[in-house]
Structure formats: C-alpha cells, structure tokens
Structure 1
Amino acid sequence: MLKFRLILFLLIASCSFAVAQPLVRISGIVYNQEKLPLSQVTVIVLGQAQSTVTDEFGVYTIYSKSKTFSIKYTLLGYQPKILKFNEHSGARITQQISLVANINELEQVDITDKQNQLSNTTTINIADVASMPLVSGNFETMLKTLPGVSTNNELSAQYSVRGGNFDENLIYINDIEINRPVLIRNGQQEGLSFINAELVSKAKFSAGGFEAKYGDKLSSVLDIRYDKPDSNQTILSTSLLNTSLTTKQIFKHSFLLAGLRYKNNANVLIKQDEKGSYSPNFGDVQVLYQYDISPKFNISFLGNLNLGQFKLVPTNRETQFGTLNTTLRLNVDYTGQEIDDYQTFGTAITATYAPKPNLVIKFINSYFNTIERERFDIDGRYIFDEVDNSFPLENFGPITKNKGIGSYYNYGRNSLN
C-alpha cells in the first residue's frame, strides 16, 4: 500500500512539473527589403495551435509549448519564410525577419481585334434583347435605340432610317434576303416578324454606306446570323402576349435550329382609343438545318411558315385633342367588321464552299410566296364637339359648341398572291 502511494505521488509531481514548464517566447519585427516594417504578416508555430499577425509597426510576439519548433512567416506578395528553433524552456528570443517580395512575371498576352475600317456597321448586343421590354415582341424594335433610327408605332416592327421610307430597309438572314407582307397598313395588323430572337447568334446593322453585296436599297441593312449552337438546348418562353418554343441540336456532322412562336396581343389593343372586339392571332414555324459534307463544303436549308389573322369588330371611339384654350372631342360609333389574313412561306437552300481561309463561294436559291387578304366593311358616324376645359371637372366639362356631325364608310376587298 505504501508503494502504491509513492508511485501515485511521483506521477502527480511529474505532471505538475510538465504543466509548470515555462513557454518559449519569440518576438521581433518583420521588415521588407527596404527595411520598412510589414503589417498583417501571419506568424505560425508549425504543428501547434499558435498564430498571430504583425501590427502596423511590424511587431509580433508568439509562444511555443516545445523547445524544438519551426515558425513560418507569410504575407501575400512575399515569399514565405520558415525558421527552425532549438531553445531551452522559458527562453526569450528576439528574431528580426526580412521578407523578399515575390515577383511573378506573367507571360505576354496579345489581344487582337479585326474590323473592316471601310464598313459602316454597328454590332448589336444579342443579350440585350431578353432584358428589353418589347410590346410587339419583334427583334427589329431594338433598332430604335440606335442613332438615325425612328419608329412611329411601338406595335410595329417597321422602322425608318435617316428619314427614309419604311420599305427601304434590307433584312438578311445567313445572306438570304427576307421579304415581308405588303398589304399591312398599321401596327395592330402586324404579327411576328421573320427574325426569331431565340435563334439569333450575331446581328449587325448599317445605317448607310454598306457593302454592294446587300443590294440597292437606300436606307439601311440588318444582317442576322443563325449559327451553330455551342450545346443542345430547349427553350420555352411564355408571357401574356407571346409564347415560343425553341430547340437547338448538335449532331456529328450537322446541327438543327427550330422555333415555334405564337402571339396574341389583344390585351394591348383593347387599351386603344378605338374600342371593340379584337382577335389577333399570329404564329410561325422556322427551321434551319446545316450539314457539313466536308470541312470546306456544307449545305443548309432555311424554311419559314408565317400565319396571321386579325379580326376587329369596332364599337366606338372617343378622342380628345386640341390646345389648352380649345379642347376638342371626337366621338365615333361603328358598325361592321374587319378580317385580315396573311400567309407567307419562304425557303432557301445554300451551298457554301470555302477552299481557302480568305475565299468563300456561296450558291443561294430562295423561294418566297405570300397570300394576303383584307376584307373590311365598316360604317362610322361621328360627332365633333368643343368641350369646356375647366380643370376641376373630370374628363373636361360639357359640350360648349358643336363643330360638326357626319358619317363615313370604309369598304375594301384587297388580295395579293
């Protein structure tokens, strides 16, 4: 029993001695090569949970539990440094450190941009199409943000460049000239333009001074590219006005782009001054398939079917206009209806041969057909008045003077094949 107590006493005494061993303290200043103090240098005792950082004067203090240890000094932009120590217990060491800047020489980077200085074209950022609010849903509406381009109807895809007519603008898709319906008279009759924004990979616009290969139109040219996608994709987009389904598929020697779209903008049309029953329904199907026979020769097929029907049974219209002193109001009551049908079909086959990097030979054979029907039979009876423009009154005041009363009759049977 006495022997057991002696062993227990010796164990407790040895533990107390181990705990009571004093720590080794290391302190100093960390400099750079110009002898300037470095702050925020990380100082770590390797293998122990001891770390600290230097202050704004480069001063640090750290402790080690063992007599043999290593300390690592690190700072971003400088080469790390490790020092080994073998000291007695309770030692007080002053260690000044100088860190060397870590200079990494980067390889030369060449940035090259190619641009035809003789070409007066503007590259359109395709990514902006998705974020831009478009009532018509047509790609051409983006052009109104460019200098020299103007539109007079947000429902229409037509645009005027530098004061030219709306029919003086060329549109090309993969070097194929695109034709558009002829009989459309206003924006509410327009459906979907030929350009499917989901299929566009590149777009360039020129407001004059373009190359002779685009033809002899006077105002502008819009050059659209449908190119090979980088991955297989299926995109479904829907809103209160439009719905579209797009697929992009890559095969071993070919690729396929296909788009299906539908548009009904009745929710917008009913907010116009002319009230009535609107029934606009527009849709189209578009396909591009390209097969690479060899690295230098390929054949592509582009097809489009665009269908549109616009029905309107007008009831009445009220329009107020004039000046601050003279306010006029026109009330019209309608009877009759308007029914318009537009069917366009276009297809093209393109053979491309590129024997050299700077030589491309293309053979393009295209076909376009349109069937357009307009039938309207509308009788309108109007009253033209001058009203009191007192501001406190809602919708102006009562009629002060009658300017006229009458009727008119619109009748048309237009067909185009």
Structure 2
Amino acid sequence: MKSFLYLALLLFSTTLLAQTAQIKGIILDESDTPIPSVNVSYLDGGTLTNENGFYNLAIPANKNVIVTISYVGFKKVVFTVNLKEGEDKEINPVLKTDIEQISTVIITGDRRSKVEGLITISPKTIRKIPGANAGVENLLKTLPGVSSNNELSTQYSVRGGNYDENLVYVNEIEVYRPFLIRSGQQEGLSFVNTDMVRNVDFSAGGFQAKYGDKLSSVLSIDYRRPVDFGASLQASLLGASASIEGVSKNKKLSAILGLRYRDNSLFVNAKETESNFKPRFADAQTYLSYQVNDKFELGFLGNVSINKYDYEPFTRQTNFGTIQDPKALLIFYEGQEKDQYETYFAALKGSYEISDNYTAKLIGSVYNTQEQEHYDILAEYRLGDVNTDIGSSDLGEVEFSEGVGAQLTHARNDLDALIFNVEHKGILKIKDHQIDYGIKYTHEDIRDRIQEYEIIDSAGFSIRPPFEDFQNNQPYEAFNAPLESFNSVRAFNSTQINRIQSYVQWSYKTTLGESDAWFNAGVRSHTWAVTNDDETASAQSVISPRAQFAIQPNWEADMLFRLSGGYYYQPPFYRELRGQTGEVNPDVKAQKSVHFVLGNDYSFKMGDRPFKLVSEAYYKKLTDVNPYTLENVRIRYEAANIAEAYAYGFDFRLNGEFVAGTESWLSFGYLKTEENINDRGYISRPTDQRLKFAVLFQDYVPKIPSLKMYLNLVYNTGLPGGSPNYADPYDYQTRLPDYRRADVGFSYVIVDPSENNTNTNWLKVFEELNIGIEIFNLFDNQNSITNTFVRDVYTKRLYSIPNYLSPRVFNVKLSMRF
C-alpha cells in the first residue's frame, strides 16, 4: 500500500512539473535596440531581460496566462497566452515610448548616465551630422570641454589633456590607436564603425573607478546585437562603407560585419601644397554574439585595418604678414613619403549570469600594430616680399627674396607592437547596493627603430643645432667643424611592459528626506614594470581612490546635482617613456591628477518641447607631469617627471528639440591650463584652449519634411603656436589664430525608416534611402594647426609661418539601408 502511495505521489508531482510551457524572445525599442532589465511577469512569477534584451519565462500550460512586460519610460505591454504542455513559443515585443514620459526619455536618457555624469549620444545623430571625419569623434568635438583644431584627425583633447589621456572602450574592451601618426591627413579611419554602434557614453572627467587609468576622459561604446537581417551602404567622394547583419534560425548566433574605405584626396588636393597624394585607408570589423543558454553568452570583436599614405609634394606658396608688409614663403620640393600602418585586433568576451544578483565576465584581447614611416624630402625655399601692384603681371609673386635656403628631412622609422590583455569583471547586487570589481593583466611588447634627421642649409651654409656650448653666427662667421645635422634622432628600442590592474567600487541608491540620492565610491590599483633592452626597472604601483555623489531634490523643478572627484593616475605607455632623443627611460613615474567636478542637470520644457541644461565646473591639480611638445597630432615627451600643472574651467550644454522632432544642442566652455617646468614659472600648456563654442543643429523644411538640414559649427580660440626644434618653449608663447569652422549638410529622404514603405516599385526593397550634399568649411576660413619656422638670413629674424588646413570642400553622399 505504501509503495502504491509513493508511486501515485511521484506520478502526480511529475504531472505537475510537466504541465508547464515556455515563452522567450528579445524585447526591443522602436529603433530595434534590445532593452536590458525589462520586467516580464505573470501572476505567480517573472523574470528580467539580460543585457542583450533576452528573456526566458516558464508559465503554466493549458490555461490562459496574462503576461505583463513593463519598463520605465515605455508603454506597458499586456498579452494572454495559452500554450500546451512543453510548448516553446518565441515572442519579440517592441516597446513604444510612453507619451506621458516622452520628455524624460528623450532628454534625460538612462538614469544611470545622468547620475554618473555621462553624456549619451544617439547613434542616429552620429550617422547624420556632417564632418570631414564623420563619426563618434566628430560629435564629441561639439561637446563642451572637448577640443580639436584639426578636421582631418579623429583625436581630441579634453579639459587641458592631450590625445594620449583619453580612454576608449568598445563593449568594455579597451582599444588603441597607431603610434607613429604625425599629421591628421595620415590617420585614415577611426576604430569605431558608426554603422555598428548601439550606444555611446562619454565622461569628460570625474569618472568612476571601474574605468581605467587615464587623466582626462572615457568614451564607452556598445556595438549592436542584430535581431534580424539587414544591410546598409553609404558612398561619397570621400569613400564608402557597407555593413551586413543577421541572426541564426534559433536566434542564438548573431553577427554584424562592417567594411569601410576612405580617401582623403578631396581635402589634401584642395590645400596650398601641390602634390601627388595617394591615400588608401580600409578596414573590416565584425562583432559576433552567441547565446549559449539563458545564462551564458559569448561575444567576439575583430578588426583589421590597413592604411597606406603615399605623398609626393611639388610646390607650396603661403602668403602671410600684413596688408602693409605682405610676405610669402615659396617652396619647391623633391622626394616623397611612404607610410603604412597595419593594425590587427581580436577580443573574446564571455558573460555568465550566475544568479539574478551576480554576473561574471571574462575578457581577453590581443592588439598588433605594424607601422613604417619612410620619407626623404628636400625643400628649397624662398622667403620674401610679395608684389602687391594690382596692375602688374606678376601680382602675388615673390619679387625680392629675403631668405633662401633648403631643408632635407629623412626618416626610416619602423615599429611593431603587440599588446595582450586578460580581464575578469564581476557585478554583485544586494538589494539597493551594487558591488563592481575587476582584475586585469596586460603585456606590452614594443620593438621600435627610429632613424630620422633634418639638415638645414641657408645660402650655402649648413646650420648646426643651437646647442648652448657654442655660438652659431653663420653665415656671417665661418664655423670650422664637421658638418652636422640640425636635428638627428637614432635609437633602437626593445621594450616590454607588464601591468596588473584591479578595482572595486560600491554603488548605493537611497533617500535623504524627500530627495533621491546616489553614492559611489571605489579604488583602483595599478602595478607595472618596464624592461628595456633586457634591463628591468623596479616595479611601480599607484592607488587611485574615487567617489561620486548625486542628489535629486523633491522640487517642482527637475534638477539633479553631482559632485565627483578623486586621484587619477596615468602610468606611462611606451610613447611617454620615449624621450626627444628616442631613448627609453624606464623609470618615468605615473602622472598624477586630483579631480574635482561639480555638476548640475536641469530638465525643463520650453514651448511644450523638452530641453536639458547641463553645467559643470572643474579643477585639476597635476603633479609628476611629463612635459611634451605637440606638432599637428604628433606628441613628443620629455620622458621625465619635471613639471607640475593645473587646469580649471566650466562647461555648459543646452540640448533639446529646438525644432520639433529633432535634437540639437549648444555648447560653451572656458578652460585655462598651465604648467611649470623645472620651477621656471607657469606657461600655457600646448592644449590651452581658452574658449570653445559649438552648435549642432538639425532642421527640416516644414512643407517638405523629407528635405533636412544638419549644421555642425565650432569656434575655438587659438592654441599656443609651438616652438622650433631645440628651442626653449618659454621663449615661444604666441598663439595661433582662432579656429572657426562650419560644416553643413542637406539631405533628401526618399524612403523614410520611420514610416511604412508602401512603394510598389523598385523602392520597395529599401528600408531607408536618402541622397545629400555636404559643404565642409562653409565660410572658407583659413585655419592653421601648426607653424613652420623659417629664418631670414639677412636680419636673422625667425618667421612663424602657418600651416593651413583644408579650405571649402564639397561632397555628395548616398545612403541606403535594406
């Protein structure tokens, strides 16, 4: 009898367990972007979507089950299902924006970004806004505190820092850029492929401990995980890009592939130097994601980039001076330059959701760059007065030469770098508390050969380098010594750097009275050791505590206040270890910066349209500074911690719907940054960009809404103009002219992705199709990035002659998506 009861009980319990079914799928927003942490529930249970929008929910079988899907800022979705025993049904709902909360969703974005002081940029805006280097960095340059005076470069400085002080992550994986680039026109393509971008977050300072060790900023980018088949193509006079994406039948495997090609000839051929220029910049990038099960996901990010830069200059004439005293520099060239940069990058990321409260991640990546910079260029110049006689046949030509000379530059620079990373990260949630931690090992292996020199000849006399141990009075007095190049660098370096980094941080949300409050505190550690030519320097370590606090008072006005700060260190990368002579100093210490950032977010409505004003004041105190010189985008360090510096300023950004249905913004920033080298007194740093004003504006013709306009306008006050080689920077504190640039684009939307395509002709295959025209440097401003220094042999006067950037340029563009 007991055996019968046990058997009946077992059969009954088995029947109960079997009377279940399952619903699963991906939850998307209106732009087909997966939404994490969405609540999917029924009366007796529920679950949350993971970071890729996936959910899996077991429900009772053979009965009507009411399922509710809810997420803050979106309309609730409620539906009824009735499934058979063991039935597995896929449901992929699309959440619509809640009209009552639309201002919050569009303007404030994700609450996490607001609390952390991150700026979130829409991928759609990134792809639309015109620029000589359209993409993520193009929009960053319109933000307050972010500066760049070179439209051909994707590099940027933030609040007084240089280009090496910015962190860039793609899917939590740190990415790198080439070492030997010295001018913007050589750069080619940014690592970030805008066709693949899902989300962009940016912090200009005071960021959390979970981010790495740099002094200035963090750019964090997430790539899309496709949910259906799609393809896109874009072509213009600057090149072309294409992407294709899709998912497997069981929805477990998704893939997206992007291809790009760029040609800078449109810009370079419009500059004042006549040349035979052959740029070839191309890359292929892919992101693969495989959902092994409900808890475990694998992702792969790969990139191959091949950039070739061939340059053969012929002549150049630069007019400068004043109306009363016009001058001109006329140069005739011989020789050529051949550069090549090949980079290979691969990363594998595994994410395992051990429980609802704990997620563990393991990330491994490898980066290899092989670079060569080879050139031999002879420049013979004439410096003189320009003919201003309007009736003369040689108007504008140099009629009297004050200086005649030549310059021979030579380089055979080769670099091969291999960087390997392995990292473990974890996220633990305990009620309203969250603990983030991570540990990372990095190995860097750099092999570098530097062989470059510069010989200057003036009126038949070779100009020796202006060392302090002799007085150079050529050509008036003969100098009886062997010929010597004006500037010569020769070094062979084999450098390895091993690093161990770790961090732990705590986040907590609570209430203080009637106000919402958020706390974050964390600490990073970084230990590294440098080996150069088989000699290992002593290991160095730094500890970096950081904290953030945000509070949103229970006021009628929607305002949030933030305070963040801490110690930020930048342990030296290879470029910072290599001094002006090319030799590596393995004992260079980490540069140190103390950050204080006070911010305010104010969301409001104006004309029934949402707006947001973000303001921040900041102060940085820097010690153990490694001074550097900046020539175009090439940075050369002293490889010694011989300076201290400071930076302070304030930034404002007003964004919102200036035109209904579009997002635009105005930015304004003030910055002052100076350094004190060897206790000689404070002078401006190379990135001392005092004032910055930018406008990003989108509009359309009311009666022809398919005709759209995009404006990208930037005004920066002039940077310090630099100094000649071997010169004392304290003697050269003049500034370049102000940087003024406006890029405008017009497009006509033939097929609008926001509307259902009802075409019955050949247009029915398109999800999106538009054609446009872009005008770069709309007002044809003569902006300059650096100076060329030329000496008048008669008066011994040294002229700083500007190197101008690109003039007005026209481009046409065709974009489509299937």
Is the Cα–Cα contact under 8 Å of residues 137 and 192 in structure 1 kept in the other structure? no
Task: Judge conservation of contact 1:326–1:389 (CA < 8 Å) in 2.
Answer: no
Aligned to 2:365: 366
Instruction: Summarize deviations over 1:234-281 as a string: whole Å, max 9, x none.
Output: 111111112111011122212101111111121221111111100000
Matched, 1:115 2:114: no
Matches within 5 A, 1:51-66: none
What amino acid maps onto 1:144 in structure 2? Answer: K
Question: SS of 1:258's equivalent?
Answer: strand
Q: Distance in 1 between matches of 2:395 and 2:355?
A: 73
Q: Which has the larger radius of gyration?
A: 1
Match of 1:158 among 144, 155, 160: 155
Report if aligned partners of 2:240, 2:262 keep a CA contact under 8 Å in 1. yes
C-alpha distance 122-396 of structure 1, shift in aligned 2 (>3 A):
farther
CA distance in 2, matches of 1:168, 1:139: 17
Aligned partner (choices 217, 220, 232) of residue 220 of structure 1: 217
Question: Which residue number corresponds to residue 306 of structure 2?
Answer: 307
Instruction: Judge conservation of contact 2:328–2:398 (CA < 8 Å) in 1.
Output: no
| Equivalent residues of 2:278, 2:311 under 8 A apart | yes
Tell me the distance in 2 between the aligned counterparts of 1:182 and 1:211: 27
C-alpha separation in 2, matches of 1:110 and 1:262: 41
- For each residue in 1:39-65, what CA deviation from the matched residue of structure 2 results, as whole angstroms up to 9, or x when unmatched? xxxxxxxxxxxxxxxxxxxxxxxxxxx
User: Is 1:143 the counterpart of 2:134 in the alignment?
Assistant: no
Q: Distance in 2 between matches of 1:268 and 1:108?
A: 45
1:372 is displaced (CA, Å) by 0.1
Corresponding position of 2:195: 198
Output the CA distance in 2 between the equivalents of 1:301 and 1:152: 35
What is the SS of the residue equivalent to 1:129?
helix
Question: Structure 1 394/327 Cα, relative in aligned 2: closer, same or farther at 3 Å?
Answer: farther
Residues 1:354 and 1:407: Cα distance change in structure 2 (over 3 Å): same
Q: CA deviation at 1:356?
A: 4.0
Q: Structure 2 CA distance, aligned partners of 1:217 and 1:195? A: 19
> 2:393, 2:196 → 1: CA distance?
49
CA distance in 2 between partners of 1:400 and 1:286 (Å): 54
Distance 1:259-1:211 versus aligned 2 partners, 3 A rule: same
C-alpha contact 1:325 1:389 (8 A) present in aligned 2: no
Contact 2:253 2:289 in 1 (8 A): yes
**Contact in 2 for aligned 1:245/1:259 (Cα 8 Å):** yes
Q: 1:109 offset after TM fit, Å?
A: 6.3
Percent identity over paired residues? 41
When residues 386 and 357 of structure 1 are mapped into structure 2, their CA distance, relative to the original with a 3 A threshold, is farther
Matches of 2:352 and 2:311, distance apart in 1: 50
Partner of 1:335: 334
Partner of 1:38: none
Which piece of structure 1 moves more, 130-139 or 164-173? 130-139
Aligned match of 1:266: 265
Counterparts in 2 of 1:109 and 1:158: CA distance versus 1, 3 Å: closer
User: What is the DSSP-based 3-state SS (H/G/I as helix, E as strand, rest coil) of the residue aligned with 1:268?
Assistant: helix
CA contact (8 A) 1:170 1:222 kept: yes
Q: Residue in 2 aligned with 1:385?
A: 384
1:394 deviates by 9.7
- Judging changes above 3 Å, is the alpha-carbon distance between structure 1 residues 128 and 108 closer, same or farther for their aligned structure 2 residues? closer
> In 2, distance between residues paired with 1:391 and 1:318?
19
Q: Which residue of 2 aligns with 1:87?
A: none
Alignment partners' CA distance in 2, 1:228 and 1:398: 59
Q: Which runs of 5+ in 1 are unaligned?
A: 1-106
Secondary structure of 1:191 counterpart: coil
- 1:339-387 superposed Cα distances (whole Å, 9 cap, x missing partner): 0010000100001012345533211000000000010000000000122
Counterpart pick for 1:182 among 179, 182, 190: 179
Please give the alpha-carbon distance, in whole angstroms, between the structure 1 residues aligned to 2:329 and 2:383. Answer: 5
Q: Which residues of structure 2 form unaligned runs of 5+?
A: 1-97, 417-818
Structure 2 partner of 1:404: 403
Q: Compute the TM-score of the two structures, normalised by the length of structure 1.
A: 0.70
TM-score normalized with structure 2 length: 0.37
CA distance in 2, matches of 1:138, 1:282: 15
Q: Check if 1:172 corresponds to 2:196.
A: no
Rounded to whole Å, the distance in 2 between the matches of 1:384 and 1:280 is 30
> Which stretch shifts more, 351-360 or 305-314?
351-360
Give the Å deviation of 1:155.
Answer: 0.6
Does the residue aligned with 1:213 lie in a helix, a strand or coil? Answer: coil
Structure ranking higher on relative contact order (CA contacts 8 Å, 6+ apart):
2
Query: Which structure carries more strand by proportion?
Result: 2
* Counterpart amino acid of residue 136 in structure 2: F
Residues 334, 229 of structure 1: alpha-carbon distance in 2 compared, 3 angstrom cutoff = same
- SS state of the match for residue 145, structure 1? coil
Name the amino acid aligned to 1:289. Answer: L
Note if contact 2:239-2:262 (Cα within 8 Å) is conserved in structure 1: yes
| Partner in structure 2 of residue 323 of structure 1 | 322
Shift of 1:230: 3.9
Structure 1 residues 225 and 392, CA, compared in 2 at 3 Å: closer, same or farther? farther
Aligned residue pairs total: 311
1:253 equivalent to 2:249? Answer: no
Residue identity in the other structure for 2:161: G
Deviation of 1:120 (Å): 1.7
The equivalent residue for 1:208 is 205
- Residue 486 of structure 2 is matched in structure 1 by none
Give me the whole-angstrom Cα distance separating, in 2, the residues matched to 1:309 and 1:147. Answer: 33
Which whole-Å deviations, capped at 9, do the CAs of 1:105-145 have from their partners, x for residues lacking one? Answer: xx996788751354121001211123211222443122111
The CA deviation string for residues 61-113 of structure 1, in whole angstroms up to 9 with x for no partner, is xxxxxxxxxxxxxxxxxxxxxxxxxxxxxxxxxxxxxxxxxxxxxx9967887
Give the counterpart letter for 1:371 in structure 2: Q
Could you tell which deviates more after superposition, 107-116 or 301-310?
Answer: 107-116
The aligned amino acid for 2:111 is Q
Give the aligned residue type for 1:217.
K
Output aligned runs, 1:121-132, within 5 Å: 121-132=118-129
In 2: Cα distance, 1:129 partner to 1:358 partner = 34
